Amino acid sequence: MARDAAMRRRSFFARLGALLGAAAIPARAQIRFQPPQDITPFIMEITKGITPEKSGVEVELPVLVENGNTVPLRVRVASPMTEADHVKAIHVFAERNPRPRVASFFLGPQCGKAEVSARVRLAGTQTVTVLAELSGNRFRVGPRDVLVTSGACLDDASL
Amino acid sequence: MRPLVLLLSCAALQCAAEDIPSRPSPLKGGIEFQGEAIRAMQADAFGNPGMLWVDRGAALWKAPAGARKVSCASCHGADGSSMNGVAVRYPSYVASLGGVVDLEQRVNACVTGNQEARAFAWESQELLALTAFIASRSRGMPIVPDPSPDSDATYERGRSIYFQRQGQLNLACTNCHDASWGKRLLSEPISQGHPADWPAYRLEWQAMGSLERRLRACYLGVRAEMPAYGSPDLVALEVYLARRASGVVSNPPGVRR
Amino acid sequence: MILGKIQVPATVKAGEAFEVRVLVQHPMETGFRRDLDGHAIPMHIVDKLSCTFAGREVFRAELGSGMSANPYIAFFATASRSGEIVVEWSDDQGDKGSARATVNVA
């Protein structure tokens, strides 16, 4: 019991330090200890070397994210969604997440509309990149910068 | 006779509200201090993550349990409409229990007393689900603090805690939630500290939690020792906050930062 | 069983895209967190989700730890006649769940 309490106290202070530290440091300095990863290899793996077109992908995210644990994301890709011309997949990458590959969504003409919404985790201020894979071996990419702020009343040790 | 009683009790309530040494003006529920995305998430009857607990609570409500093999629905009706407006009255003095209890304690009293089942642990998924379901039957209703004089002593205890500086940061509730509401701590706006919308899904927890958990988080925030779940201090604080928030509209399950 | 739910509009027009919304109850543990005693909490996420309408696949997703706890996903589908839409999901421990709804083509 006493050991338990001591451990809890210790982890509490560790957490507190980490949280206060992370929260107090401006975005630019944060990037230094949690650098964005180059997501080009992830994209190349899908496009097999084809350079994606930088248009036609609309990425909707809050202007200012209040908590990076749950961030509403909406992606719209300009496409008629016909048998001949449709979006096959939408891939979401977050360069500063420890695992940048957030999710892949697979669609087809039966969807009728190339639009997907999700709630994602974002580990700090960064660029979110959405890659759309179109029929006919074509690709479109839409980067979107997002500012993830930190609140002061952080805890998960209250349980 | 009835209207007169109502009038008198309203007058008493009004009086009590005016006596409250820290009633912010205008009164703003916690949701008003959240950003657009969080407000949209709370208002979304399907997408509010707290609704997962409400749904689970609706199922538990009908599930027979305990030695007597009865469900909540056996006594209170299947659809839970008998719970309309109940959660916004808690904590309340309950004569049969001989004291002031919050919603979680009231549910557990029923579980152990009437179902003869084992009490749910604090912050267990079951207790959160049941309280979320019951609280959801108060959506859109204003907080109506327990007018019983039997809760006055508990109120007094809560009031003194509210103004007591504590923790390594040496802060009282009032220092943030009366003196500084609307200002920011880092990027986070300080709320008026009302208990509306609870239990709530807090993004920081990535889960549903009770008002008691949120209050404990505040103790943690000022680096004070957290009172145990169900302790008289937390219940007293809830009673004080309820009277202070009289009239604030509640929309549980809430969503918070 | 992993709980979750689905929402589609009450009625849809034949061939016109309608939104399908899905909410699943799952902690989506990243594997990067520690408990209060300092022990690492192993990764535990819903990693697959798929949707079929009248038995045919409409939509599929591969999810990572970058998806929020209690994942929410919405997408579009079309129907030429009424039928049942089913969403199924599974996590990396083999646990599964599903939700279904009737699509009424007006």
pLDDT at A2: 44
pLDDT at A22: 44
pLDDT at A152: 78
Three-state secondary-structure class, residue A144: strand
Could you give phi then psi for residue A3, rounded to 5 degrees? Answer: -65, -40
Distance from CA of A67 to the nearest CA of C (A): 11
pLDDT at A156: 67
Tell me whether A117 touches chain C (CB under 8 Å): yes
Q: Is the predicted pLDDT of residue C82 greater than 70, yes or no?
A: yes
pLDDT at C36: 82
Spell out which residues of chain B touch residue A24, defining contact as CB-CB under 8 Å: 186
What are the residue ranges in chain B where pLDDT is below 70? 1-19
- Beta partners for residue A127, in sequence order: A145
pLDDT at A27: 53
The arithmetic mean of pLDDT across residues C29-45, rounded, is 92
The arithmetic mean of pLDDT across residues C59-69, rounded, is 98
The arithmetic mean of pLDDT across residues C66-82, rounded, is 98
ipTM: 0.97
A148, amino acid identity: V
pLDDT at A67: 93
Three-state secondary-structure class, residue A70: coil
Smallest CA-to-CA distance from A30 within A130, A155, A156, A150 is with: A150
Going residue by residue through chain A, which has 159 residues, state the pLDDT in tens, using 9 for 90 and above: 344 444 444 444 444 444 444 444 455 555 566 789 999 999 999 999 999 999 999 999 998 999 999 999 999 999 999 999 999 999 999 999 999 999 999 999 999 999 999 999 999 999 999 999 999 999 999 999 999 988 777 776 777
What CATH homologous superfamily does A34-154 map to? SoxY domain (2.60.40.2470)
Spell out which residues of chain C touch residue A98, defining contact as CB-CB under 8 Å: 30, 32, 65
What percentage of chain C has pLDDT greater than the value 90?
A: 93
Q: Residues 54-83, chain A: which have Cβ within 8 Å of C?
A: 69-71, 81
Complete DSSP assignment for chain C: ---EEEE--SSB-TT--EEEEEEE----B-S--B-TTSPBPPPB-EEEEEEEETTEEEEEEEE-TTBPSS-EEEEEE--SS-EEEEEEEEETTS-EEEEEEEE-B-
Sheet with B200-202, side-by-side order of all strands = B207-209, B200-202, B254-256
Contact flag C78-A69 (C-beta cutoff 8 Å) = no
Distance from CA of B13 to the nearest CA of A (A): 32
Of B55, B206, B207, the CB nearest to C5: B55
pLDDT at A29: 54
Q: Report the predicted TM-score, pTM, of the whole model to 2 decimal places.
A: 0.90
pLDDT at A31: 55
Nearest CA in chain B to A61: B37
Half-sphere exposure of A55 (CA within 13 A, CB side): 0
- Check if the beta carbon of residue B154 is closer than 8 Å to that of residue B94: no
User: Which pLDDT band holds residue C37 (cuts at 50, 70, 90)?
Assistant: confident
Chain A touching partners, 3 or more CB pairs below 8 A: B, C
Spell out which residues of chain B touch residue C4, defining contact as CB-CB under 8 Å: 52
pLDDT at B26: 94
Please write the tens of the pLDDT for every residue from B8-30: 444 444 444 556 778 899 999 99
Please write the tens of the pLDDT for every residue from C88-104: 999 999 999 999 999 99
Tell me whether A143 touches chain C (CB under 8 Å): no
Contact flag C58-A110 (C-beta cutoff 8 Å) = yes
Catalytic one among B15, B110, B173, B218?
Answer: B218
pLDDT at B2: 43
Q: Which residues contact A125 (CB under 8 A, 6 or more apart)?
A: A27, A30, A31, A96, A145, A146, A147, A148
Smallest CA-to-CA distance from C4 within C103, C104, C96, C102 is with: C96
